[in-house]
Amino acid sequence: MILVVAFTIHELSHAVVADRLGDDTARLAGRITLNPLKHLDPLGSLLLLVAGFGWAKPTPVNPYKLGRNPAAGMMLVSAAGPFSNLMLAVAASIPFQLGLIAVSFDSGLLPTLSGFLIEFIFINLLLFFFNLIPLAPLDGEKILFYFLPAGGREAMRRIQPYSQYLLLLIIFIGPYVGLPIFNWLVGWPTQQLLRMLIL
């Protein structure tokens, strides 16, 4: 349920920013909606039900409709997704920050409100940092691309065909060879920001 909300808001944010910048591709595809069925990928959704993880359907974007600077437009559209997950996490932390709910971790069969909010914050922070990894097809690749000089952009273009393999290596192989890169980029910052938001 949490991932459905997080995925929906993430993809909707991409669509809204692209639309505001002049690209109506997502609007014409019916993606400016809170209906999760418009954003969830069939296979990604099946895995979500079976394995507890999955992915959403990428928001269609035409960079040539994003104004005079397509690279800047793509950077803003890409950043909108992770930023929305960060904002969801911050919003869910407000009851803890105001002292309205005490921090407690679930130990029973039914989740408490505190436990649900902590999990909601954790998952959205995880998605925030994960999507900032600068490897395609993640949003971080387009964000970093915008800020790099010409030489750096050319290097990223050369790496792009292998990005998915590099991502798999980082996630699954890195920890076994003494290079917990995924934990450095995602796990550790997620835990630190979670503590800041709820304590």
Q: How far is CA 53 from CA 35, 45, 77, 135, 177, in A?
A: 19, 8, 24, 19, 24
Catalytic annotation, residues? 11
| Three-point CA angle 36, 74, 152, nearest 5° | 130
Asked if residue 137 has a cis previous peptide bond (ω within 30° of 0), the answer is yes
What gap in Å lies between CA 194 and CA 129, rounded to an integer? Answer: 12
CA distances from 105 to 63, 110, 126, 191 (A): 44, 11, 18, 14
